[in-house]
C-alpha cells in the first residue's frame, strides 16, 4: 500500500495538478469566464429538458447520455470520496475541490463538444470519446499514439475506479448500516450489474435515466435536512474550509496546504471526471446534433456532480462534529487509519448525527444507488476503450466478465489501496487527454464561437 501511495503521489504532485488547472484555466480565460453566465448555459440545457427528439436506433437521447455520464460521476466519490478527501487532506480539500470543479466546467465543455464533433456513426448508433478525437483530430503519429495510451489506461481505470471502488463502498456501507457480509454484497452487486451491462449501452442509458433523478433527489433531501438542523455550525465549517486551504497554520491538526490541494483536486476530478475524458464516451453516444450543445451539458454535469452533490456531503460532515482534525491527523501520522475512519462510514456517522438511525440507512441506500449506476457507466467506458485498443469487439464478453469479477472481489478489498489504485489509473488516463485538449483548443474555441453566434442570431430573430 505504501508503494501505491508513493506512486500515486508522485503522479499527482505537482505536474498533473498543474496540468488540470492549466487546461481548465486556459478555457476559462479564452471563454471569458463563461461559467459565470449561468442563465445562458442553464437555459440551453436544463431549460430544454423534456424536448428530446426520438433517439436514433441503438443510440441515446441527450438526457440518457447525461444520466449515463452522471451515473458514473455521481458515484461513491460523491459520498465516500469526499469523506476520504477531508480525512486525508483536511477541510481545506473542499475549497480546492470547488476550484477544480469551477475550472473543470470548461474542461467538460471541451471534452463533450470534441466527442460529438469527432464521433463515429454506425449501425448500432454513435460512438466515440477521447480516443477518437485524439486519433482523428491530431496529426499522425501523435494522435494515434495518444489514443492508444488513453485506451490502455482507461481499461484498468474502469476496473479500479469503476468495479473495485464502487463495489468496495457499497459493501462497506452495507456492513456498517445493516451488518451484511462484504462478500455476499459483492456477489449480489455483481449479479445485478451483469443483468444490465450485458444488455448494451441502450439498457444502461434507460436504467440510468430512471435511477439518477431518484438517487440524487433522495440524497439531496436528506442532506438538506441535516444542514438545516445543523445550520448553526455552518459558519465554522466554512472557516475550516478556508483556513485549511489557504491558512493551514490556523486550522486544527497538522494538515498542510499541499495535502489539501492534492486530495481536493484529485477527488474533485474523480467526482466530475473533467479532464479524465471518461464521461465524454457516454456523451459521444447521444443523438445531439450540435457539438456546442453537448458541451453545455458537460458543464452541467460537472456543476451538479461536484458543486452541488459533493458540497452537501462535505458540509454535512464538517457540521456534524464526527470529524476531528487533530485526531484524524494523529491517526495518519501514526499509521493507525482504519476503514471505519474514512469513506462511507465517516459519511454515515455524519448523517446519523441529525437523522439518527435513518442516517446510516439513508447513506447506505444512496451509496448503493450511486455506486450501482457508476458501475454501469464505467463498464461501458472500459468496454469502448478496449474495443479501440484491440480494434475488435471480440473481447467484449471477456471484459464484462472480468469487470464483474472485480465487482465481487472489490467488496472485500482494502479501501485505502483501492482508492490509491483509482487515483493512479485516473492520473495516467488524464495525461494523454489533457494534452489532446490543449492541442485541440482551436477546434474547441471554434465550436464555442459557433454556439454563441447561433444563440445570438436566434435571439435577434
Ramachandran angles phi, psi of 125, nearest 5°: 110, -170
pLDDT at 250 over 50: no
Cell numbers that stand for 170 in this block: 457499497
Does the CA dihedral 222-228-230-231 come out positive or negative? positive
pLDDT at 413 over 90: no
> What residues have CB less than 8 Å from 310, skipping those under 6 apart?
77, 78, 81, 82, 97, 101, 267, 268, 271
pLDDT band at 457 (very low <50, low <70, confident <90, very high): very low
CA trace torsion 293, 296, 301, 306 (10° rounding) = 180
Q: Within 13 Å of residue 448, how many CA atoms lie on the same side as its CB? A: 25
| Site of grid cell 465481487 | 408
Ramachandran angles phi, psi of 121, nearest 5°: -110, 135
How many angstroms separate the CA atoms of 5 and 335, rounded?
A: 13
CA trace torsion 417, 419, 422, 424 (10° rounding) = -70
CB 332 within 8 A of CB 99: no
- When pLDDT is averaged across residues 344-353 and rounded to a whole number, the result is 87
Return the higher-pLDDT residue of 42 and 117. Answer: 117
- When pLDDT is averaged across residues 94-115 and rounded to a whole number, the result is 92
How many angstroms separate the CA atoms of 442 and 169, rounded?
A: 40
pLDDT at 456 over 60: no
Lowest model confidence (mean pLDDT) among 225-234, 278-287, 302-311: 278-287
User: 358: exposed, middle or buried (C-beta count within 10 Å: 0-12, 13-18, 19+)?
Assistant: middle
How many angstroms separate the CA atoms of 173 and 349, rounded?
A: 11
Other beta carbons within 10 Å of 289:
10
pLDDT at 9 over 80: no
How many angstroms separate the CA atoms of 153 and 156, rounded?
A: 6
- Residue 441: predicted pLDDT: 94
How many angstroms separate the CA atoms of 94 and 116, rounded?
A: 32
Return the higher-pLDDT residue of 440 and 267. Answer: 440
How many angstroms separate the CA atoms of 302 and 273, rounded?
A: 8
| Site of grid cell 462510514 | 345
pTM assigned to the model:
0.84
Number of domains into which the chain is organized? 1
pLDDT at 73 over 70: no
- Nearest CA to 374 out of 282, 284, 294 is that of 282
Return mean pLDDT, the chain.
82
Return the higher-pLDDT residue of 67 and 406. Answer: 406
User: 335: exposed, middle or buried (C-beta count within 10 Å: 0-12, 13-18, 19+)?
Assistant: exposed
- Residue 461: predicted pLDDT: 35
Return the higher-pLDDT residue of 302 and 40. Answer: 302
Percent of the chain scoring above 70 in pLDDT: 86
Q: What is the CATH number of the domain that holds 375?
A: 1.20.1740
Return the higher-pLDDT residue of 207 and 361. Answer: 361
Which of 6-20, 38-52, 100-114, 400-414 has the highest mean predicted lDDT (pLDDT)? 100-114
Ramachandran angles phi, psi of 34, nearest 5°: -60, -25
- When pLDDT is averaged across residues 113-141 and rounded to a whole number, the result is 86
Other beta carbons within 10 Å of 110:
30
pLDDT band at 124 (very low <50, low <70, confident <90, very high): low
pLDDT at 35 over 50: yes
Domain hosting 338: range is: 2-460
pLDDT band at 403 (very low <50, low <70, confident <90, very high): very high
CB 82 within 8 A of CB 315: no
pLDDT band at 253 (very low <50, low <70, confident <90, very high): low
- Nearest CA to 297 out of 43, 23, 60 is that of 43
Amino acid at each position: 500500500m505504501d508503494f501505491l501511495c508513493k506512486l500515486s503521489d508522485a503522479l499527482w504532485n505537482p505536474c498533473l495538478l498543474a496540468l488540470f488547472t492549466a487546461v481548465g484555466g486556459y478555457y476559462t480565460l479564452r471563454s471569458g469566464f463563461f461559467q459565470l453566465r449561468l442563465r445562458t448555459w442553464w437555459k440551453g440545457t436544463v431549460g430544454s429538458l423534456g424536448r428530446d427528439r426520438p433517439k436514433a436506433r441503438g443510440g441515446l437521447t441527450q438526457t440518457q447520455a447525461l444520466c449515463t455520464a452522471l451515473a458514473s460521476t455521481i458515484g461513491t466519490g460523491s459520498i465516500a470520496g469526499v469523506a476520504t478527501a477531508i480525512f486525508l487532506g483536511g477541510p481545506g480539500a473542499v475549497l480546492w475541490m470547488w476550484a477544480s470543479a469551477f475550472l473543470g466546467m470548461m474542461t467538460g465543455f471541451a471534452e463533450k463538444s470534441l466527442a460529438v464533433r469527432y464521433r463515429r456513426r454506425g449501425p448500432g448508433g454513435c460512438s466515440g470519446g477521447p480516443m477518437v478525437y485524439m486519433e482523428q483530430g491530431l496529426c499522425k503519429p501523435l494522435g494515434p499514439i495518444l489514443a492508444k495510451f488513453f485506451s490502455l489506461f482507461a481499461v484498468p481505470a474502469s476496473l479500479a475506479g469503476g468495479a473495485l471502488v464502487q463495489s468496495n463502498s457499497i459493501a462497506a456501507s452495507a456492513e456498517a448500516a445493516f451488518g451484511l457480509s462484504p462478500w455476499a454484497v459483492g456477489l449480489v452487486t455483481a449479479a445485478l450489474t451483469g443483468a444490465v451491462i450485458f444488455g448494451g449501452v441502450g439498457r444502461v442509458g434507460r436504467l440510468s435515466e430512471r435511477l439518477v433523478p431518484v438517487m440524487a433527489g433522495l440524497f439531496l433531501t436528506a442532506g438538506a435536512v441535516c444542514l438545516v438542523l445543523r445550520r448553526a455550525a455552518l459558519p465554522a465549517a466554512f472557516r475550516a474550509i478556508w483556513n485549511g486551504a489557504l491558512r493551514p497554520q490556523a486550522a486544527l491538526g497538522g494538515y498542510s496546504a499541499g495535502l489539501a490541494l492534492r486530495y481536493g483536486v484529485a477527488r474533485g476530478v474523480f467526482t466530475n471526471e473533467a479532464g479524465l475524458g471518461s464521461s465524454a464516451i457516454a456523451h459521444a453516444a447521444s443523438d445531439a446534433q450540435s457539438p456546442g450543445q453537448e458541451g453545455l451539458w458537460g458543464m452541467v454535469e460537472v456543476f451538479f456532480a461536484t458543486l452541488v452533490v459533493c458540497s452537501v456531503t462535505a458540509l454535512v460532515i464538517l457540521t456534524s462534529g464526527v470529524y476531528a482534525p487533530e485526531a484524524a491527523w494523529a491517526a495518519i501520522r501514526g499509521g493507525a487509519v482504519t476503514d471505519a475512519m474514512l469513506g462511507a462510514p465517516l459519511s454515515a456517522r455524519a448523517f446519523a448525527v441529525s437523522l439518527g438511525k435513518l442516517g446510516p440507512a439513508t447513506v447506505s441506500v444512496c451509496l448503493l444507488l450511486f455506486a450501482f449506476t457508476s458501475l454501469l457507466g464505467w463498464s461501458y467506458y472500459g468496454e469502448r476503450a478496449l474495443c479501440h485498443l484491440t480494434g475488435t469487439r471480440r473481447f467484449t464478453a471477456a471484459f464484462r466478465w472480468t469487470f464483474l469479477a472485480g465487482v465481487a472481489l472489490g467488496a472485500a478489498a482494502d479501501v485505502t489501496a483501492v482508492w490509491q489504485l483509482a487515483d493512479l489509473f485516473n492520473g495516467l488516463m488524464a495525461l494523454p487527454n489533457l494534452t489532446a485538449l490543449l492541442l485541440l483548443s482551436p477546434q474547441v474555441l471554434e465550436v464555442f464561437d459557433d454556439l454563441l453566434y447561433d444563440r445570438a442570431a436566434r435571439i435577434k430573430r
